[in-house]
Amino acid sequence: MINISMKAMLEAGVHFGHQTRRWNPKMARFIFGERNNIHIIDLQKTVKELKKAYTWMKEQAATGKTILMVGTKKQAQEIVKAEAERIGMPYVSEKWLGGMLTNFATIRNSVKRLDELESWEKDGVFRVLSKKEVSRYRKEMFRARRMLTGIRTLEKLPEILFIVDPAEEEMAVAEAKKLNIPIVAVCDTNCDPDVIDHPIPGNDDAARAIKLFCAAIADAILEGKTEYDQKQAVGTIAGAEAAMVAEAEAATAEEMEAAELAKAMGVEPAAAEAAEEAAVEETPPPAAPPAGDEELRAADAIKASNADLR
C-alpha cells in the first residue's frame, strides 16, 4: 500500500513547477499558486492523483498486464531502468525509436538482428571476417544493445505506458493514443494532462521527485504482479488436484461397471472368484504323454531280458 507523506514530497521538491511563462493552462486545476515566477503544484491533489494511479496500476498488474516504463531525459534514465528491472517490466530509457509501438513488428526484427549479431560474436564468426566488417557489425550491435535492451523481452505490445514527462515523450504519447494504450504519467506544469489517462501532477525534472514517483508506481505494479503470480500458482495446484479427483472417480466407475456386469450375469464378484479357484483345484493333472519309440524299444529289451532269465 502506498505511504508517501507530504513531508517526503516537499523534501523531494515535488511541488516545484516550471516558470510561469512556460506553463500549460490545462494544468491550472493542479496549481496551488506561484512564487518568484515559479508555479507551485498543489500537493494535496498530487497525493490524490498518485493514490488513484497506484490503485489502478495495481489492479491492472494483478490481471497480468505488461506495463512499459518510459523516461529518456537524463535525470530519469537510470531511475526508470533500475525500477523497471526491479519489478521485471520492460522499459525505454534511451531515445524513443519512431514506430516502437505503431511499427512493433519492425522493432521485433531489430531485436532478432541483435540476437543474431551476439550469436556471431559468441560462436566465433567475427574471427573469420575482415576487420572492417567486424568493426561495422560491432558498432551495429552496441547501438542496438543501447537502444533495445529494455524491450528485448517484450514479445507483444504493452497494455499500459508509464511516462516521466509526457511533454518530453511526445512521440511515445502519440503512438500510445493511436493504439488506444492507456497512459499514466508524471505531469509538470508545462504538460497537457488531457491526453493522459491518469495524470500525476508533480515535478518531473528533479531526480529525487522522479525517484519518488517511479518507486511508488513500481511498488504498485509489483504488488499487483505478486497477486497475479499467486493466483496462477493456486490455479495450477487446483488443476492438479482436479485431475487426481477425476482419475480416482474414473477408477471407481470402472469398478462399479465390473460389479454391474457380474451381477447381470447372475454371479456375485466374490462368488465368481471362489468358483474360479475351485475350478482350478478340481482340474485333474495332465495325463502323461505317450511313450516315444526309444522308450518302447527299451521296454521290449527289458522284457526279453527277463524272459531269458526265466
Total structural domains in the chain? 1
| Tens digit of each residue's pLDDT (9 = 90 or more) over 242-267 | 777 777 777 777 777 777 776 776 65
Cell, residue 48: 490524490
Map residue 35 onto helix, strand or coil. strand
Residue 95 covered by a domain: yes
Burial profile 70-101: b = 16 or more Cβ within 10 angstroms, e = fewer? bbbeebbbebbbebbeebebbbbbeebbeebb
Backbone CA torsion sign across 202, 207, 208, 212: positive
- In total, the chain counts a number of residues equal to 310
Residue 96 covered by a domain: yes
Which pLDDT value is given to residue 296?
A: 54
CA pair distance 173, 162, nearest whole angstrom: 10
Residue 272 covered by a domain: no
| Tens digit of each residue's pLDDT (9 = 90 or more) over 108-139 | 999 999 999 999 999 999 999 999 999 999 99
Residue 276 covered by a domain: no
Residues in the chain where the model's pLDDT stays below 50: 302, 305-310
Which pLDDT value is given to residue 178?
A: 98
Residue 182 covered by a domain: yes
Which pLDDT value is given to residue 19?
A: 96
**Domain CATH code at residue 182:** 3.40.50.10490
Cell, residue 243: 485431475
Residue 65 covered by a domain: yes
How far, CA to CA in Å, does 45 sit from each of 27, 160, 227?
12, 23, 28
Which pLDDT value is given to residue 234?
A: 81
Which pLDDT value is given to residue 124?
A: 92
Place of cell 533500475: 82
Helix (H) or strand (E) holding 185: strand 183-187
Question: What's the predicted TM-score (pTM) here?
Answer: 0.75
Domain, as residue range, for 216? 6-224
Residue 31 covered by a domain: yes
CA pair distance 45, 32, nearest whole angstrom: 9
Which pLDDT value is given to residue 310?
A: 44
Residue 43 covered by a domain: yes
